[in-house]
Structures are given as C-alpha cells and as structure tokens.
Amino acid sequence: KAGVTQTPRYLIKTRGQQVTLSCSPISGHRSVSWYQQTPGQGLQFLFEYFSETQRNKGNFPGRFSGRQFSNSRSEMNVSTLELGDSALYLCASSPLGVPGELFFGEGSRLTVL
Amino acid sequence: GQQVMQIPQYQHVQEGEDFTTYCNSSTTLSNIQWYKQRPGGHPVFLIQLVKSGEVKKQKRLTFQFGEAKKNSSLHITATQTTDVGTYFCAGTSGTYKYIFGTGTRLKVLA
C-alpha cells in the first residue's frame, strides 16, 4: 500500500506570495490532518478534514486554509506569506481520524524569503 | 487552551543507559499516542494508550498512561544508537484533533 504522498517536497517563496500544498492519503483513509512543524513551536495542528468536511481547526490566522476532495486528497493554502510561515508542513491520514493512528507524509518544506 | 508539555526537551545518554520522557497535559485526555521522528524524517506512530493506568511494552520500550489520564511516560531500557530521534506524545480530549507535546530529542552516544 502506498504511503501518504505530499507535494511539493521543497519550495521557496517570497513574502506576500501564496502557496498550495497537496496531500494524497493512504488509499481508504478518509481523514486528513495538517500540521506545521517548526524548531521553536514543535508540531502544531492546522486542521482536520473527514469526507470533505472540516471537523476542527487550530489557532492559525485565516491566511491558512484547506480543503478535501471527494477522493480524500487534500490541499492547504497559505496566502500573503510571511517569513514566520517558513516551516515543515506535515500531512497525516487515518482511516477515521481521532482517535486512530496517524500516518504522516514526508512533509513539504516551505522557505519564505 | 489545551497544552501538552514534555520533559526533558533534550537528553544525551551513553549507549546502554536508560531514557525516560514525560508528557503532561493541562486537561484530561481521552487517549494518548507516542510518535518517533528520526532526524530529517517524519513522525512514525509507536503506540496508543486509552485506559487509565495502562502500561504497554514493545521490546525495550515501556509506555504508561497516568491514573488521572493527564500524564504519560515513555521509558527506553538500554538505549541503542537506533533510538536516536525526537519522541512526541499526542493527546486528544474529545475533539477531532491531536495536541502534540513539545517533544524530547534523544541523542545516544556510542
């Protein structure tokens, strides 16, 4: 079974730009959650989707948004990028979501210049 | 809001020594999970604990969930160089999200 796939793996953007990250979950998994990982803040929850519905979101500004498609693939978007948005963005899938095991992708490393 | 703290933040041990990381939540948890992230890698699931006072073992790893379901620990006996990485706990309290602990970075000196 293929694992969680995230694209792109690395990207560099400048302040004010926007970025879209993609996540393809493990086949059959209906829950996708997103996390921001930085050295100073650790792993912070962004949002969780299940069957195209956002079930919960973390404490991030409205510049961070996401969606899930009918095939469970998910995208997250960050608009008007700031230097502090530089981070590893991790996507995790799970068959039903909380409280199940999370399967993480390799992440998308975003650098904002 | 709900917070999950982990201590210590860093730990350097000699190979063969034991290691323990502790996880404390500000609220009662429904369950807790433990993940390991190798340097440059992504978090990988280790175990999930659900019951109050639960203890689970995986070879050299022992996991405990506190009686009040607000704390947990991971103990590694006789560390090996393959144990290097950052260990995270992640808890949930009835919502559709996991709150991750701050992580403990383990370094094992050969």
Query: pLDDT digit string (tens) for B2-56?
Result: 789 999 999 999 999 999 999 999 999 999 999 999 999 999 999 999 999 999 9
Q: Which of A44, A99, A104 is opposite residue B31, by nearest beta carbon?
A: A99
Cβ atoms of B65 and B52 within 8 Å: the answer is: yes
| Integer CA distances (angstroms), A45 to A38, A41, A81, A92, B20, in order | 12, 11, 18, 11, 25
Q: Which of A42, A98, A105 is opposite residue B103, by nearest beta carbon?
A: A42
Percent of chain A with pLDDT over 70: 97
Confidence check: pLDDT of B96 > 90: no
Q: Determine the pLDDT at residue A30.
A: 92
pLDDT band at residue A110 using 50, 70 and 90 as cut-offs: very high
Q: Determine the pLDDT at residue B94.
A: 72
Write out the two tokens for B63.
């996991």
Q: Determine the pLDDT at residue B1.
A: 67
A4-16: buried (b, 16+ CB within 10 Å) or exposed (e) per residue? bbbeeeeeebeee
Q: Determine the pLDDT at residue B78.
A: 98
Does residue A60 sit at the B interface (CB-CB below 8 Å)?
A: no
Q: Determine the pLDDT at residue A95.
A: 83
Nearest Cα residue to B16 out of B61, B78, B106, B84: B78
Give the mean model confidence (pLDDT) for residues B58-70.
97
Q: Determine the pLDDT at residue B69.
A: 95
Does residue B5 sit at the A interface (CB-CB below 8 Å)?
A: no
Q: Which of B1, B42, B98 is opposite residue A98, by nearest beta carbon?
A: B98
Write out the two tokens for A47.
């949002």
Say whether A48 and B96 touch across the interface (CB within 8 A): yes
Which residues of chain B have a CB within 8 Å of the CB of A42?
88, 100-103
Does residue B78 sit at the A interface (CB-CB below 8 Å)?
A: no
